[in-house]
Chain A
Amino acid sequence: MFKRPVATITLFLLPIIMLWVGLGILQLQGKGVDRIIWQASMFSLVVLAYALINYLLGFAGDRFLFPAVTCLLAFGLVVLVRINPELAQRQFWWATFGTAVAAISLWGLRDYRRLARYQYTWALIAVVLLVITTFFGVTTGGATSWLKFGFLSVEPEEPVKLIMIIFLANYLKNNRELLSVGTVQVWRFSLPEPRILGPLAMMVGVSLMLLAAQKSLGTALVFYGVALFMVYLATEKGYYLLLGVPVFLATGFLGYKLFQHVQVRVEIWLNPWQSVYGNGSQIAQSLFAIGNGGLFGMGLGQGFGAVKIPAAETDFIFSVIAEEFGLIGAMGILLLFVLIIYRCFVIALKANDEFGTILAGGLGLLFSFEALIILAGVTKLLPLTGIPLPWVSYGGSSLLVHMFMVGCLSNISHISQCHSITSQVKLGKGMAE
């Protein structure tokens, strides 16, 4: 059901060409590309296999989402090879595995509505995961957000992001009407009954508290923003956002007073130049790298940020890109994110049920918040809160979860498209509803 097979194949070839051109340039500079040729080939084959499966199974959904994500992924992989070939080797496996995960969530899941089942079980699992991490987690970079299983480290807050969005989408679908038509009058606003707000406040509140206890402040900020805006999306009531601002400010102030490292972060943000060799080194080095990129960049492999910036392969990968690819390359990354987020909302608008709309919208909001918070952090527009840049930063947990989300989005758009083309198309017997 591909309308234009040639154009679609081109879309899938683009990231693969990007990847191999990048690797070729690095090979010329002797950056140890030879040992990852095999992994890179595997990844390329899996991406092509994904395209082939979609073709064979008659994928009718969004044609741009997955290629755009793969472009980001390829860009990130090339830059990772440049920063640290050994880490890149592992990331290639995660990317290959992630593409398979996307295919599984697109085709294996059959229908995204099945995700809505057992929502309270999922919510419980999410909370339990966070509790375990809070007490048994490994602390790196100030945040206790890792669980270690032998050689494997997992970041539970990543799957919790997905669970929370699914939970919220289902909850909002069920309580949309009641949430938008208030019964309790507070001054000029009519608010819904506490009984209905209960589960929402519980889920969001408990997650936020646990994340605060782990000092994963960036993730807490993402959770809060996504939850708030999802409620707004579903209810179309602006006062939820208005209500969210004082709550945010109060929480922020409390956090500032309670946590020493929040105060340090804000201080660094206000003047990173005072401690270029100390606390301010990360953000100062990030800005040095970004500034050095200029309009066209130093060229792949020619920058200094890759070595000079702490955490260059995770939180600060964008600064490395900005130095080596310049304003042009940095804008390219931003455009890819804008394209992906835009497709999410297009999928949300086209979805043929409310759960799909809110779920796709919620994922669009998640990607927006994640990208904006870390990018504003590394460019000193906001105080820095370290979170990975989706699909670009090194990290298996984040990548697998985000690839699963892309599969979900494709599934939503595929099903809505099939329904609008012909109502006869059935996607398996195990369909929900």
Chain B
Amino acid sequence: MTRSIKRAVLGISLCFIILSSGLVYWQVLASQDLLSKPGNLRAVYQEQRIWRGGIFDRNGEILAKSYSAVEAEQLMGKKVFSTVRPPGDQYPTQIRLYPKGNLFAHVVGTYSFIYGKTGLEASLNKLLLGLGPNESIQSVSQSLVDKSRRGNDIVLTLDSKIQSAAVEALQGKSGAAVAIEPKTGKILAMSSAPDFNPNELDQKFKEINAIGNQVFVDKAVSAAYTPGSIMKLVTAGGLLHSGLDVRAVYQDTGRDRVEVKGESREVVDSEKEGLGSVDFFSALARSSNTYFATRAALAGDSQFLAAAQRFGFGQKLPLEELKSSSTSLRISSITAEGVPKQLKLGELMDSSYGQGQVQVTPLHMAMIAASIANGGQMMRPGLVDRVLSPKQETLYQFKPAVWLTPLLPQEASLIQQGMREAVEYGTARGLGIDGVTMAAKTGTAELGEPGKQPHGWFVAFAPAENPVIAVAVIIEHGKSGASSAGPVAKDIIQAALRERR
């Protein structure tokens, strides 16, 4: 029987070798793949073993923090339960709370076991867990002997008081507001309406979802809208670049016809009777469609498109810190293909006053306003001011950097003057703030859909001679920009100026 026994041993050995190969496959080759399978909560459980870092505003106020069960109960005035507890774990329970409630629902985001992570909670996850760029939660968790491991704290550029003004002013509306410090590019406020209370996400998901109006979308960065007349700021940049005579007087009769290269096209201002004699500044201040459409047509599509390119149309906004699987950064565009090589005359004229196919994001619009305020230099936007290690050592510090230079300083100051005049006697009059010179541009974006009210836009910066804040506000279906978005922008600017004093 020796022969058959030896053969049996050989066969069994072979089976064990196949079994070992199976183990190598699952434990080494397919290990990462298994971790991301739906139904595998291990990544979430393992994250719970690290005390997640906090998120703070620029004055150190708590925007998001992990609390122990006792602290959480004190803060919320009732018992708070973590929705999912890692099974049988001996690590301390941490409950993620947002003391500012609704204020930062979109930008700071949420941390939920059921609905996942959004906003900065998602995009800064690795920093909040204190993981190095090459570390994965799995590799750390496997060697986790130290049960008191903590993540990094993150201090944002956002300011709770300014944010609060924005959120309050947007209450009951649908839209977004972004405020930027023009000189540095630091984002001071960024809100999207309608909003919700991230502390109640797990318990009241259905009610929140029923609010509608894309309540979970961060409209400040993930939505793009027809800009309407605020686009004239970009068109103005192109016109100045082409050597426009700003003093040349134009007769606005409410309609006009241009002929370029044998093609003839008419522009009709639907609402106005005609503004009479306007120059560059009053055309901007009183928002003359015929002025900008005809001037843009005469200057040519390449001037307009080059200006759009210089202002960052068709490009990703450099705000990687907010980008994650749950938050996409929309790109502003002139047509569906971004910034095209050329435009037909009709398209050019429509685009010059922000109709046609033009789409902009609220963040980008705030950056455009900020670049005009900053003498033509568009700064790289930033949300993260500092990253602090658990020992409070600074691991990262925001440094202002120029992203684009869409305007020469003298061009910027000419547009600034037009925007100041808008507040003095133009479309934004009555929205000024006592003792402060403000510069602004209104926009009313016709949607071309019957029965739908136009979107209201308002961009502004103040104080005009030394700007500390630039804002962009959109109110969906708010009718005129001056009446809907204007007061919101004014509230935000006032909050910022109050803080400065």
Contact = CB atoms under 8 A, between A and B. Distances in A.
Interface string B119-155: 0000000000000000000100110110000000000
Contact of B141 (A233, A298, A334, A379): A298
Contact of A294 (B1, B2, B31, B88): B31
B31 A306 contact: no
B25 to A, nearest CB: 8
Contacts of B39: 273, 276-277, 281, 284, 288
Interface in B265-290: none
Interface string B37-57: 111111001000000000000
A233 B9 CA distance: 11
Contacts of B22: 376, 379-381
Contact of A348 (B5, B28, B38): B5
B87 interface: yes
Is chain A's binding surface mostly helix, strand, loop or mixed? helix
A233 B8 contact: yes
Interface string A360-400: 01001100100010011001110000000000000000000
Contacts of B16: 334, 337-338, 372
Contacts of A342: 9
B12 interface: yes
With a 10 A CB-CB cut-off, give which of B8, B144, B145 has the most chain A CB atoms: B8
Contacts of A349: 2, 5
A306 B15 contact: no
B51 to A, nearest CB: 17
Interface string B373-412: 0000000000000000000000000000000000000000
A295 B436 CA distance: 66
Is chain B's binding surface mostly helix, strand, loop or mixed? helix
Contacts of A233: 1, 4-5, 8
B34 interface: yes
B60 to A, nearest CB: 36
Interface stretch (A12-20, A198-206, A325-333): A325-333
A358 B28 CA distance: 40
A299 interface: yes
B18 interface: yes
A30 B12 contact: no
Interface residues of B, number: 41
A234 interface: yes
B26 A379 contact: yes
B27 A294 contact: yes
A306 B90 CA distance: 14
Contact of A232 (B4, B31, B33): B4
Contact of B27 (A293, A354, A361): A293
Contacts of B141: 298, 302
B467 to A, nearest CB: 53
A308 B26 contact: no
B20 interface: yes
A327 B25 CA distance: 10
Nearest to A293: B27
Nearest to B27: A327
Given A361-B1, A368-B15, A372-B16, 9 more contacts: A273-B38, A288-B39, A290-B23, A294-B28, A297-B142, A301-B90, A327-B27, A330-B23, A372-B15
Interface of A: 29-30, 229, 232-236, 273, 276-277, 281, 284, 287-288, 290-299, 301-302, 304, 306-308, 322, 326-327, 330-331, 334, 337-338, 341-342, 345, 348-349, 354, 357-358, 361, 364-365, 368, 372, 375-376, 379-381
6 contacts: A284-B37, A288-B35, A288-B40, A290-B27, A302-B141, A345-B9
Interface of B: 1-5, 8-9, 12-13, 15-16, 18-20, 22-24, 26-28, 30-31, 33-35, 37-42, 45, 86-88, 90, 138, 141-142, 144-145
